[in-house]
Chain A
Amino acid sequence: MIRLYFVGAGTPTPTPTRFGTSYVLQIDEDLLMFDCGPAATHKLVKLGLWPNRINHLFFTHHHFDHNADYPCFILCHWDQSTGRENKLRIWGPKPMAAFHDRLFGDKGAFTYDWQARVGNPGSQAVFKKRGGSLPRPKPDYAVNAVGPGKIVAENNWSVTAAPARHIEPFMPTFSYRVDSPQGSIVFSSDTGPCDDFRNLARGADIAVIHCWDHQEHMAPDLANMIMGTTDAAKLAEEAGVKK
């Protein structure tokens, strides 16, 4: 079974119906999350997806519309954990490790939060009532660097990354492809038309392509970093995307 949840389908500009980007791809019992834009944690729950069920989180890049809810997601994931869930594995391009450390490391912005919850007797009581055992562990997450090529393979799926064309050299952006016996899906993230994404998308069953505006409204510099309607369509057709 493959199911795709559109947690966030918007841009950095909030509207009543969209804000930021996040998707969850369910392949049987595994939940693969792509990006963690504004309010993603709350929107996950609205979709019936408890944060602790997420197995893997992949970041495409570190614009805030793709990562702003990361501290909330991790704190919620850790706070609700009893230690018996599957480990969450986190993947992302630079500055992934520094981003994580500046939030949750020894001098992290949210370290006062988890230190208080670990040490305060009332917080320990809530943790025990939830099913946890003392001493309460601190947040401990595996953060992995992403580069081009296959980055993770499990029994029934694999994820491959390819560089996108977005805001280099300020920071790298990656597109992702998920292959499984039940089909293949590519996530463009924010990218202008480029051979790396075209090749990644080659023959995919489904492509989720970020599309900012009507093509005639896309200024050249903007169209170089994200696609308009017909650029997205042309690329998908050239790549032989099936649906």
Chain B
Amino acid sequence: MILSHQGAKLDLPGSREKGIIDAGRFFKGEIIFANELMVLDL
């Protein structure tokens, strides 16, 4: 799962990591926090 379209508060250092940890309590697969100009080979 790739999280994108994040608001400014969620995108802050520390806040990003908390968001991934919170999401990881419910989603068992890999979680990626999207950044602009990022490229992923799928």
Interface residues of A, Cβ cutoff 8 Å to B: 1-11, 13, 15, 17-19, 21, 23, 43, 46-47, 182-183, 185, 190, 205-215, 217, 226, 229-230, 232-234, 236-237, 241-243
A-B pairs, top 3 by smallest CB distance, nearest first, are: A210-B5, A233-B26, A233-B23
Query: A10 to B4, alpha carbons, bound, how many Å?
Result: 7
Instruction: Using A6-B37, A233-B24, A243-B29 as known contacts, list a sample of 13 further A-B pairs with CB atoms less than 8 Å apart, ordered by residue number in A.
Output: A9-B6, A10-B5, A17-B11, A21-B5, A47-B39, A206-B42, A209-B4, A211-B6, A214-B10, A215-B22, A226-B5, A233-B25, A243-B1
Q: Is the CB of A210 within 8 A of B42?
A: no
Interface residues of B, Cβ cutoff 8 Å to A: 1-11, 15, 18-19, 22-31, 34-42
CB distance from A181 to the nearest CB of B (A): 13
Query: A184 to B29, alpha carbons, bound, how many Å?
Result: 15
CB distance from A237 to the nearest CB of B (A): 5
